[in-house]
Amino acid sequence: MAPVTEPFPISNVAGRYLLFDVDVISHVRRNHNICGVLIGTIPNLSQQNVFLGIPLQLMPEEARVLVEQGHAYIFDDAQAHMQGFFGMSRKDRLEFLRMMDERGQQRARDVRRKAEERSEKALREKGLLQARTEQKESEALVAEGDPGTDAGGSLFGSTPQLPANRRVADKKLAPHFITPTTSYPPLAPPSQPSTLALPEVPRQYPIYRYMQSKGYFAMPGLRFGCHYSIYPGDPLRFHSHFLTTGLGWDEEFELLDIVGGGRLGTSVKKTYLIGAEEPEKEEGEEGKVRAFSIEWAGM
């Protein structure tokens, strides 16, 4: 994994916070307890739901905590692309187009080569490959012995005809049109933090920030009826320990919700946890966020 320089950029695309760099994705998971959710998919396999790839989408809470701690900054991806492409010199644009043409030509050659290999394999399985080879050799001999030509060239100034297979092979292949999968290059990555506002976060953000600061990992907890599933380590290695719900400091709640959360947590071998932030205390002051764990006894 290549070293990551902080602060690193987080792309804001249509209100979503995305990471496109594999090294950055590994970095935030290893060092900042940020998992996110991979959402990349193949256009013609849009229904696939396992083994998704980059980009990694961050929850607003994850993006905000990274910015507040000074590890990252957020930039408007669309605006950065517009400025980057319009700011490119003509030389750079032509060089990029030339590079894309070369990639398209190489792709066309690869496609033709694979088609020929499939054709030969099919003929070999049917026992027709030898007959086709003999036919090509016969056509080549006929072309070499064409009475309209001699060793000195064409008798009447006409161009000698090549065998059919040679004429097809010598045609210039039309390049494939390649859609780049990354913008850097040709664009340079944004180097200056933008002035975008911090991500808007839900009211349960304080409990998320509190648990993240204690070294826990957090994942969405919708399937357990809570805000977050809290893990003591990487979710690939550990089961979650807490089902967490964030509340307002003076928010009223039903006692039955606490009873139900405690019973549910105990039945799935987890602890139900609720917490809130006291608004009167200063940021960073001890006890600003209070958390309570609830376990159903006697089960």
Does residue 205 have an active-site annotation? no
Q: Which of 201, 213, 216, 204 is nearest to 271 (CA)?
A: 216
Verify whether residue 281 is a known catalytic residue.
no
Is-catalytic flag, 231? yes
Return the exposure string of 169-201: e unless at least 16 CB atoms fall within 10 Å of the residue's CB, then b. Answer: eeeeeebeeeeeeebeebbeebeeeeeeeebeb
**Pick from 260, 224, 254, 258: nearest CA to 242:** 224
Active-site residue (options: 81, 114, 239, 281): 239
* Strand bridging mode 53-58 / 37-40: antiparallel
CB 104 within 8 A of CB 110: no
In sequence order, what are the residues at sequence separation of 6 or more whose Cβ sits closer than 8 angstroms to the Cβ of residue 61? Answer: 199, 201, 202, 205, 208, 209, 218
* Residue of 71, 227, 241, 270 marked active site: 270
Show the beta-strand stretches assigned E in 108-180: 149-150, 153-154
Closest Cα to residue 244, out of 226, 259, 231, 225?
Answer: 226
Catalytic, out of 17, 210, 216, 231: 231
Report d(CA 101, CA 178) in Å as an integer.
8
| Residues forming the active site | 231, 239, 270
